[in-house]
Structure 1
Amino acid sequence: MSRILRTNPSPVLSTAVEYHGFVFTQGVVARDLSQDIDGQTRDVLAQLDELLEHHGTDNTRLLQAQIWLKDINDRDALNKHWTAWLPENQAPARACVQAVLADPRMLVEIMLVTTK
């Protein structure tokens, strides 16, 4: 049986789950919810870098991204940081939708699937 590695498991979720060389992240939100969309997006991407590095991978190995925005009108601001963060010609399959997030101060949440 293959081993499943769960990072920071809680009764509700794990920060990430690794299985057969795939890494599935939690939905990551900004640590400081007082920031605007630019600040929150930068923080989320930095956290994702840390999480991927912890699992021995990086943003060159992305397969899929799911992005939730409080306001879809923030998509251009998100994309400015997203495209700067992604290696050239390495964009994953992606969905980006407007959603009601768990805390009204949350402006963006990103979840990734990657491989090692």
Structure 2
Amino acid sequence: MSDTITRIDSGPRMSQAVVHGGVAYLAGQVGAEGGTVTEQTQAVLEKVDALLAKVGSDKTKLLTAQIWVANIATDFADMNAVWDAWVAPRHAPARWTGEAKLATTGYKVEIIVTAAV
């Protein structure tokens, strides 16, 4: 196993992705504030696709997905509809979903994934 650590799109506070030991760890991704849960989820998954491409991976190599929604009672079904259309058939990761107060009231969904590289 390599001791190399690669950081993608690093800033002073965080990196958008870190790769180590054949695993890519993506930071939590959010869409633009406002908009519907559907729109935000689509935007988040586009960001996930782009980051996975930067690290040499893709959604068929997802290991885990952690999803936070602002209101599970009203947002869960719409988020799942987008997720289900996006996730690669027969390549669904281990996944969990919870309700959380996100960084601002305009965010309705945040997704964090790990993937093999």
TM-score in terms of structure 1 length: 0.95
Partner AA of 1:42 in structure 2: Q
State the alpha-carbon separation in 2 of the partners of residues 8 and 89 from structure 1.
Answer: 30
**For 1:20-99, what aligned pairs fall within 5 Å after superposition?**
20-30=21-31, 32-73=32-73, 74-99=75-100
- Give the 3-state SS of the residue equivalent to 1:56 in structure 2: coil
Partner AA of 1:107 in structure 2: K
Query: Once the 2 structures are TM-superposed, how far is the Cα of residue 59 of structure 1 from its aligned partner?
Result: 0.3
- Give the 3-state SS of the residue equivalent to 1:110 in structure 2: strand
Deviations 1:16-58 (A, max 9, x none): 000011000000000x212110100000000100000011110
- Give the 3-state SS of the residue equivalent to 1:6 in structure 2: strand
State the alpha-carbon separation in 1 of the partners of residues 11 and 56 from structure 2.
Answer: 22
State the alpha-carbon separation in 1 of the partners of residues 103 and 23 from structure 2.
Answer: 27
Tell me, which stretches of 5 or more residues in structure 1 are unaligned? none
TM-score in terms of structure 2 length: 0.94
- Give the 3-state SS of the residue equivalent to 1:34 in structure 2: coil
Runs of 4 or more, structure 1, over 3 Å off, are: none
State the alpha-carbon separation in 2 of the partners of residues 82 and 43 from structure 1.
Answer: 11
Query: Once the 2 structures are TM-superposed, how far is the Cα of residue 10 of structure 1 from its aligned partner?
Result: 2.1
State the alpha-carbon separation in 1 of the partners of residues 56 and 17 from structure 2.
Answer: 12
Q: Percent identity?
A: 36
State the alpha-carbon separation in 2 of the partners of residues 62 and 108 from structure 1.
Answer: 19
Task: Please provide the CA RMSD for this pair.
Answer: 1.0
User: Aligned residue pairs: how many?
Assistant: 115
